[in-house]
Amino acid sequence: MHRQEIAGSLLSSLPLGARILVIRLRSIGDIVLLTPALRLLKEWRPDLRVSVLLESRFRELLENNPDVDEVLGPGDGTGWTKISSRARAVREIRRRGFELCMNLHGGPTSSLLAAWSGARWKAGFEHFRRRGIYQILIPDARTILNKPVIHTAEHQASAFFHLGLPRKEIPPARLEVTAAEEAGWRDKRSTLGLPPEIEYAVLHPTAIYTTKQWAPENFSRLGAHLEREVGLPVIYSCGPGESAVLNAVEKVASTSLRRLQSPNLRQFAAVLAAARIFVGNDSGPAHMAAALGRPGVVIFGSSSSRIWGPWPPKSSWRIVQNNYDCNPCPGDRCYRFERPECILSITYEQVRSAVETVLTESAQKPR
């Protein structure tokens, strides 16, 4: 039988307790949206031992996830340190004797790691470079699922469906917070002036590109509305190297912000898990909040909300986006106008209305 012909039965034919390596190096959203597929796989074949290879800065996203047996790294550092670290990582990968390596990333580093994995079977999407690495090429997800537009969670699940995972409804994303982490956040709340019994909102005003970043003055105005009119204290969050955005919000606000700067991902998850609502740009933290079951509003600019919205689409979330025929675009700059109208056109009133709707509707549901 041709190796492409066995794709549909590959997962079912793996021996009991076989090891699978899934490569998804980055970033927050992609990794969170991989968890539905991993859940389906483990529910179907709990005997399989699943390792996920991702950059060390993201490993906390999968810690304590019951569908992941092990998190591996590709090797860190720069120069010779990186070379030796990567060599050690490859030795560790090969030592495990993987039956199957699924590359869901596709970049040059992931391609090399897949090639060096020593896995008996290697699979990757047919649009990836270095196709010769793989015995099995996975078709476009739109072809597999027979849909014109595919959400990222569906895209990643489709690879497993092609290899024989029985098709069924794709579950929500999963992010686990331990009781110890919840207790740790309760102990630290007082440092931000938040008594244990007080609900709060998390506003995340940063994004990877300016085409995705709602104006700081709008976040400042929204935060003031939540504090003064709704009576909901606001925590402003940002990741490493993003404090300048909070500085801009604070400058407009003319008052000190309640800041959560550069928490590790486990700490941030604990903060999000206890939030009354999350409001932010199209970015990884929005997917974390959705995976934790919190209500939220996400503001979209240059990217597609149909591909990158919270998964699954649900009533406790609202997407605010103004449609332009040039959407989606790469996002690193505006390719159509002198400035990114897609994000700049979103008004304060649009977002405030969405926030008020989510607060009202989610208050009617048990937490």
Element (H, E) at 279: strand 277-281
- How far CA 224 is from CA of 51, 59, 192, 229, 354, in Å, comes to 44, 35, 17, 8, 16
Give the integer Cα–Cα distance in Å for 169 and 73: 30
Q: What is the mean predicted confidence (pLDDT) over 21-27?
A: 96
Do 18 and 150 have their domain in common? yes
Do 15 and 143 have their domain in common? yes
Give the integer Cα–Cα distance in Å for 277 and 12: 41
Contact between 276 and 201 (Cβ < 8 Å) = yes
Do 201 and 303 have their domain in common? yes
Q: What are phi and psi of 140, to 5 degrees?
A: -55, 135
Give the integer Cα–Cα distance in Å for 327 and 274: 34
List the domain range (segments joined by +) for residue 196.
Answer: 182-363
Give the integer Cα–Cα distance in Å for 129 and 106: 7
Do 203 and 245 have their domain in common? yes
3-state helix, strand, coil in the chain (%, to 5): 45, 15, 45
Do 358 and 298 have their domain in common? yes
* Tens-digit pLDDT profile for residues 119-147: 999 999 999 989 999 999 999 999 999 99
Do 152 and 202 have their domain in common? no
pLDDT category of residue 365 using cuts at 50, 70 and 90: low
Do 154 and 194 have their domain in common? no
Computed over every residue of the chain, the mean pLDDT equals 94
Which structure tokens are listed for 60? 């906390």
- Angle value at C-alpha 89, between 53 and 120, nearest 5 degrees: 65
Comparing CA positions, the residue from 223, 248, 247 lying closest to residue 235 is 223
Give the integer Cα–Cα distance in Å for 194 and 226: 15
Residue 80: the pLDDT is: 84
Do 33 and 117 have their domain in common? yes
* Tens-digit pLDDT profile for residues 196-210: 889 999 999 999 999
Do 93 and 198 have their domain in common? no
pLDDT category of residue 4 using cuts at 50, 70 and 90: low
Question: Which amino acid is present at 209?
Answer: Y
Do 124 and 201 have their domain in common? no
Instruction: Provide the domain count of the chain.
Output: 2
Contact between 213 and 343 (Cβ < 8 Å) = yes
Residue 3: the pLDDT is: 60
Half-sphere exposure of 367 (CA within 13 A, CB side): 11
Element (H, E) at 162: helix 152-162
Contact between 343 and 214 (Cβ < 8 Å) = yes
Do 240 and 336 have their domain in common? yes
Do 358 and 214 have their domain in common? yes
In a domain, 136, yes or no: yes
Q: Hey, how many other C-beta atoms are within 10 angstroms of the C-beta on 19?
A: 19
Give the integer Cα–Cα distance in Å for 223 and 203: 8
CATH code, domain carrying 36: 3.40.50.2000
Strand-pairing partners, residue 280, are: 204, 298
Q: Please tell me the pTM assigned to this model.
A: 0.94
Q: What is the mean predicted confidence (pLDDT) over 58-77?
A: 94
Between residues 7 and 304, which one has the greater pLDDT? 304
Contact between 48 and 18 (Cβ < 8 Å) = yes
Burial category of 129 from C-beta neighbours within 10 Å (exposed 0-12, middle 13-18, buried 19 and up): exposed
Which structure tokens are listed for 223? 């935060």
* Tens-digit pLDDT profile for residues 80-107: 888 899 999 999 999 999 999 999 999 9
